[in-house]
Chain A
Amino acid sequence: MLKKITALLGDEAKSLLEHICHTVKREDLHLPGPDFIDKILVYSDRPNNVLRNLHSMFDHGRLAGTGYLSILPVDQGIEHSAGASFAPNPIYFDPENIVKLAIEGGYHQTKTADLQRRLQRHCFRQNASKRVPAFDNRSPH
């Protein structure tokens, strides 16, 4: 695995893989790890539901138990239009294919189920907002 990564980085490999930070030392940092929630986040004012959701994010997928996260963002129709995001590969206009990419790509099912629910809610809102102007047009005001 390291050989593949080193090969990909090419002539930057040495500088990126062997560099040591002398500005702020790693010993002074709180670093990600399997116990990050219990060591750091549990002492904040986050509600139990939030901590539980964080647990489920940290404990699934290929990076489960490492304390690291690999996230697939989908902001179709929220920050950008679907066209802006999916023109290079229009299959992703269908949200099920985003869910497939997330599963194939090593993300976890809780997150993808959550994504599906959000997409369903989002589709519902889009449909609802289409109906609202039509209703307003018919109103006497």
Chain B
Amino acid sequence: MYRHLTTDHPIDLTRYQVVNCYMGRMGLINSGGDSGEDDLRQAVKTAVINKRAGGMGLISGRKAFQKPMKDGVALLNAIQDVYLEKEITVA
């Protein structure tokens, strides 16, 4: 079953999540995960994977508020930039 429906690529795996959300009729929101040293890159990567898989957005808390507010705002805006960037398309 999984051989046909997904691969090891994170975008294909997340596409399978979207497929299980009634082929996208329910928007897929992926979560940001806990806060660490590489938050900005991790958050942007998760946003790219969610958007290109066909997801509807990101919910990110700990990565945003477990740091100085200025850095939290920058991280939230970086996530939004992925969704605003027209050249990042659905795969």
Q: Is the interface of B mostly helix, strand, loop or mixed?
A: helix
Q: How far is the CA of A85 from the CA of B79 in the complex (A)?
A: 21
- CB contacts (< 8 Å) of A12 on chain B: these are 45
- Establish whether residues B65 and A5, one from each chain, have CB atoms under 8 Å apart when the complex forms: no
- Establish whether residues B18 and A29, one from each chain, have CB atoms under 8 Å apart when the complex forms: yes
Number of A-B contacts (CB under 8 A): 163
> What per-residue 1/0 map shows which CB atoms of B30-74 lie under 8 Å from chain A?
000001000011001100110111111111111011111100110
Q: How far is the CA of A62 from the CA of B66 in the complex (A)?
A: 22
**Assuming the A-B contacts A9-B48, A29-B24, A101-B69, are A2 and B59 also in contact, with contact meaning beta carbons closer than 8 angstroms in the complex?**
no
- Establish whether residues B65 and A98, one from each chain, have CB atoms under 8 Å apart when the complex forms: yes
Q: How far is the CA of A40 from the CA of B69 in the complex (A)?
A: 37
Interface residues of A in 98-141 (CB under 8 A from B): 98, 100-101, 104-107
Q: How far is the CA of A24 from the CA of B12 in the complex (A)?
A: 8
- CB contacts (< 8 Å) of B48 on chain A: these are 5, 9, 16-17
Interface residues of A in 68-104 (CB under 8 A from B): 68-75, 85-86, 88-89, 91-92, 97-98, 100-101, 104
- CB contacts (< 8 Å) of B80 on chain A: these are 62-63, 70, 106
Residue A48 CB within 8 A of the other chain: no
Q: How far is the CA of A66 from the CA of B76 in the complex (A)?
A: 16
What's the least CB distance linking A83 to chain B, in Å?
12
Q: Closest A-chain residue to B69, C-beta based?
A: A101
What's the least CB distance linking A82 to chain B, in Å?
11
Residues of A within 8 A of B (CB): 1-2, 4-5, 8-10, 12, 15-17, 19-21, 23-24, 26, 28-32, 36, 40, 62-63, 66-75, 85-86, 88-89, 91-92, 97-98, 100-101, 104-107
